[in-house]
């Protein structure tokens, strides 16, 4: 049993390290992304990875309340991405209307 526990701990730590590296790469994409859509997708992916990290910690530490935090974080992350997308679409629409008005004035 002791060997199995050690292997499980090693796997949990390995998964958390891999997720942390992927989280940093997503942060890099969110900052350097050439388009706003890339940034939105990166932020959404970062939220998903944080949810998975919390779930892995919940299993590793045997704490059930962390799963509830995962669910709450998932809802907040979803709403944040929806709001960011809505704002971006409004800005995009305003820019297109402004460009159309400039073309008709010239």
What angle do helix axes 2-32 and 36-61 make, rounded to 10 degrees?
160
Q: For residue 22, with 0-12 CB atoms within 10 Å meaning exposed, 13-18 middle and 19 or more buried, which class applies? A: middle
Query: pLDDT tens digit string along 29-41?
Result: 999 989 888 999 9
pTM of the model: 0.81
Query: Between 93 and 71, whose confidence is greater?
Result: 71
- Counting the structural domains of the chain, the total is 1
Which residue shows structure tokens 């706003």?
36
Comparing 16-20, 71-75, 95-99, the range with the smallest average pLDDT is 95-99
- pLDDT category, 106, cuts 50, 70, 90? low
Query: pLDDT tens digit string along 53-75?
Result: 999 999 999 999 999 999 999 99
pLDDT at position 74 is 94
Of 12, 20, 29, give the one whose Cα is nearest residue 49: 20
Which residue shows structure tokens 């402004």?
98
Nearest-angstrom CA–CA distance, 38 and 31: 10
Q: What Rg value do the Cα atoms of the chain yield, rounded?
A: 20
Range(s) of the domain holding residue 57:
2-105
pLDDT > 70? residue 1: no
Straight-line distance from the first to the last Cα atom of the chain, in angstroms, rounded to the nearest whole number:
79
Mean residue pLDDT across the chain = 91
């Amino acid at each position: 049993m002791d060997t199995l526990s050690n292997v499980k701990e090693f796997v949990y730590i390995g998964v958390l390290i891999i997720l942390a590296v992927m989280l940093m790469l997503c942060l890099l994409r969110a900052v350097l992304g050439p388009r706003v859509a890339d940034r939105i997708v990166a932020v959404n992916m970062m939220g998903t990875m944080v949810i998975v990290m919390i779930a892995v910690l919940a299993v590793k530490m045997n704490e059930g309340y962390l799963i509830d935090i995962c669910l709450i974080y998932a809802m907040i992350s979803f709403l944040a991405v929806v709001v960011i997308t809505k704002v971006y679409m409004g800005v995009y629409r305003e820019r297109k209307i402004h460009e159309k008005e400039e073309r008709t004035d010239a």
